[in-house]
Amino acid sequence: MNQQSDADMWRHIDSWGPAAEALGVEMIGPTEVDLGDGISVKVDVMFPQFGPKKGMLIVEDYGSLERHRHDLLAAGYGYSVFSPPPSGTYYSAEDLAEMLTDWTWNGKPQDQPKWIGTYSTRE
């Protein structure tokens, strides 16, 4: 299993923070998701307003959630696995918006950001 450092977890936050702020979306992390029965899963980032009803979770190491993936899905979370970019690299608001649009808005329809779908580069 890949052992992820705290610095790697914070690189996700550092690289997405400015874009999330520019888009006005909530981003939490690093954090732990409590699944009950004494089970918690450490995640790098959570976007609670996107994806399934409780939000999308981002981890670098699939092994960190593999044993609990079914519990996460049953509890109303989605997840995505990828490495943070190199230190000092930042995602653009357009890149983040496209990814969040793909995951879909899970909040109240009247609160959906107006930018949803406007950054898509797909043909």
State the pLDDT confidence band at 123, using cuts at 50, 70 and 90: very low
Q: Is the pLDDT of residue 122 over 70?
A: no
Domain contains 115:
no
Domain contains 117:
no
For the chain, the straight-line distance linking the first and the last C-alpha, in angstroms and rounded, comes to 38
Task: Please give the radius of gyration of the chain, using alpha carbons only, rounded to the nearest integer.
Answer: 14
Domain count, the chain: 1
Domain contains 52:
yes
Domain contains 13:
yes
pLDDT at 104: 93
State the pLDDT confidence band at 6, using cuts at 50, 70 and 90: low
Domain of residue 56: give its range.
6-107
Q: How far apart are CA 69 and CA 42, in angstroms?
A: 12
Kindly report the pTM of this predicted structure: 0.85
Q: How far apart are CA 18 and CA 16, in angstroms?
A: 6
**Closest Cα to residue 107, out of 34, 26, 16?**
26
pLDDT tens column, 39-95: 999 999 999 999 999 999 999 889 888 999 999 999 999 999 988 777 778 888 898
Residue pair 42/57 in contact by the 8 Å Cβ criterion: no
Domain contains 113:
no
Q: Is the pLDDT of residue 117 over 80?
A: no
Residues in CB range of 106: below 8 A, 6 or more apart? 49, 50, 51, 52, 53, 55
**Closest Cα to residue 27, out of 15, 40, 13?**
13
Domain contains 64:
yes
Q: Tokens at residue 75, please?
A: 């509890």
State the pLDDT confidence band at 23, using cuts at 50, 70 and 90: very high
Domain contains 11:
yes
